[in-house]
Chain A
């Protein structure tokens, strides 16, 4: 049984009825399908998080000016800004 209300809160999605019940059913169907994963023998198998085998790809901790956005550029798509800042919804409840 999936707590869709909890999941939607975690995903910061406000899902209302009737979509909520529809999603609950769909999610349960999909999870039923993927539960067959449990049948695979994975006791001594290492998980693969990415397939290239790359590790520790690093660079010098130096500023690259060509990669920087100016303040104006960074704000250019903001729906709401003030004095060079992003305006953020009030989060204290």
Chain B
């Protein structure tokens, strides 16, 4: 067995019983990196081997009491790492070496984690397939010709290919959940304000959330206990108690009320096999005692218009700082997608248009958020597919506008409302992964971990 198949929890247990060393883990991860990284284009930067082995040695000299002692982790390249190149997937930052660590990076390091490398991604987070990286697309490990999902593309593939035991990502409109779904992994999109954004390259500041990707729900909950929490360096983090999320696993979900949003299924655009798998999953949840009902999100129809005004506007503001004077290269190095989003945002915010576009979109945001608040007065969680299709081929963006619309609808409204959501592996269609998404109320991630854990045990894909 490849020891990189181990979960974090299992690896720690083995290390604490002297049956495994951090050195073993690091060597195994580096082996997989040597084997696959160039072909699959997963990591932009790999930390030096000597440095990594030294960190493993330090870990192996302890009693492994730290929560992530000696565990190899990959970070999405939007996370500032002191002394280690950070590009956000863009040529504008291809020579940028931060002088400080992001708060989440600091937390992971203080927990004993070993940072193996920085993952490839859609530049600036702009994309949901991985194809918009300025360094070339990452490939899906299940099918080289297919996308791994994005924008945390490299993060997902790094876990899938054993280059690390877990990875971090950001989710502004799909970017942790979709790569997790396309790569058969568990990905959490936290409540906005639950995890610090300090030191992480900002895309849309009122939408960005900081998540992570793991093989199992338990690993995911375990990591969340470390990354979640208020941060004085990020004024948008909320001081809500960080629970021991791992204690909410393996629970009985009898009586749990699950809502299926009707507007997401009314439109005929989900691939037949994906629809069948999702229906089967819902039946499985019913067999566990969950109560399924139909719920409504009436403003769904306005969600994407709202999103495509607010997000580019915030992008245009956040990318204004890249002037090539204090760091990085000049603005001519921006890729087309970044330019397009900055242009839309600048226009929407400009004099004469601000009220019609940005302010109106903010009001519609209130209406969409209210939809979610209302639904969670009726049910405990919602279940939706993560994608209307299986991972598509690189270069072959869907020509079906309905499918593209649904792909957005299943992901973005969650970010508009700021609520948490988690992807769990569901099943395979022609050997391609299909994920299932649970959505919950703000700051109720423990509920998501409970239902995700319950579903994981009975899903076709049960791995742990």
A residues apposed to B, CB below 8 Å: 2, 4, 7-8, 10-15, 19, 23, 26-27, 30-31, 33-38, 40, 42, 45-52, 54, 57, 59, 67, 69, 73-74, 76-80, 86-89
Contacts and interface: CB of A to CB of B under 8 A. Distances in A.
Given A10-B346, A14-B332, A40 B299 contact: yes
Given A34-B309, A38-B356, A69-B100, A78 B350 contact: no
30 contacts: A7-B343, A11-B316, A11-B342, A12-B323, A13-B334, A23-B339, A27-B344, A30-B308, A33-B304, A34-B305, A34-B357, A36-B305, A37-B309, A40-B367, A45-B366, A45-B367, A47-B359, A47-B362, A48-B362, A48-B363, A48-B369, A49-B206, A50-B418, A51-B206, A52-B236, A52-B418, A54-B236, A69-B99, A78-B326, A89-B325
A35 B347 CA distance: 13
A33 B308 contact: yes
B294 interface: no
Given A33-B305, A52-B418, A77-B328, A2 B366 contact: no
Q: Determine chain A's interface SS by DSSP, over half rule.
A: loop
Contact of B346 (A7, A34, A37): A7
B233 interface: yes
Nearest to A33: B305
B235 interface: yes
Given A37-B302, A88-B325, A51 B308 contact: no
Contact of B367 (A14, A42, A79): A42
Contacts of A54: 193, 235-236, 238
Interface of B: 95-97, 99-100, 192-193, 206, 232-233, 235-236, 238, 299, 301-302, 304-306, 308-309, 316, 320, 323-329, 331-332, 334, 336, 339-340, 342-347, 350, 356-357, 359-367, 369, 417-418, 442
Q: Report, nearest first, the 10 A-B pairs whose CB atoms are least far apart.
A: A51-B418, A47-B362, A77-B327, A42-B363, A11-B346, A57-B235, A34-B305, A73-B99, A52-B193, A45-B363
Contacts of A8: 343
B132 to A, nearest CB: 15
Contacts of B206: 49-51
Nearest to A8: B343
Contacts of B305: 33-37
Given A50-B206, A57-B235, A77 B326 contact: yes
Contact of A40 (B235, B302, B339): B302
Contacts, number: 143
B230 to A, nearest CB: 10
B449 to A, nearest CB: 21
Contacts of B325: 78-80, 86-89
Contact of A76 (B97, B306, B342): B97
Contacts of A15: 339, 343
Given A19-B336, A51-B369, A51-B442, A77 B363 contact: no
A51 B235 contact: no
Contacts of A76: 97, 99
A76 B340 CA distance: 31
A12 B345 CA distance: 13
B417 A51 contact: yes
A26 B328 CA distance: 28
A76 B233 CA distance: 22
Contact of A86 (B326, B328, B336, B359): B326
B365 A48 contact: yes
A45 B343 CA distance: 28
A9 B329 CA distance: 18
Contacts of A26: 340
Given A12-B331, A51-B369, A79-B324, A42 B347 contact: no
Contacts of B347: 2, 7, 27, 31
Contacts of B365: 47-48
Nearest to B351: A10
A33 B304 CA distance: 9
Given A38-B356, A59-B232, A47 B363 contact: yes
Contacts of A86: 325-326
A91 to B, nearest CB: 11
Given A50-B236, A51-B418, A40 B364 contact: yes
B366 A37 contact: no
Contact of B343 (A23, A33, A37, A88): A23
Output the residue of A11, A78, A80 with the most chain B CB within 10 A.
Answer: A11
B432 to A, nearest CB: 30
B51 to A, nearest CB: 19
Contacts of B356: 38
Contact of A36 (B302, B332, B342): B302
Contact of A52 (B238, B301, B344, B366): B238
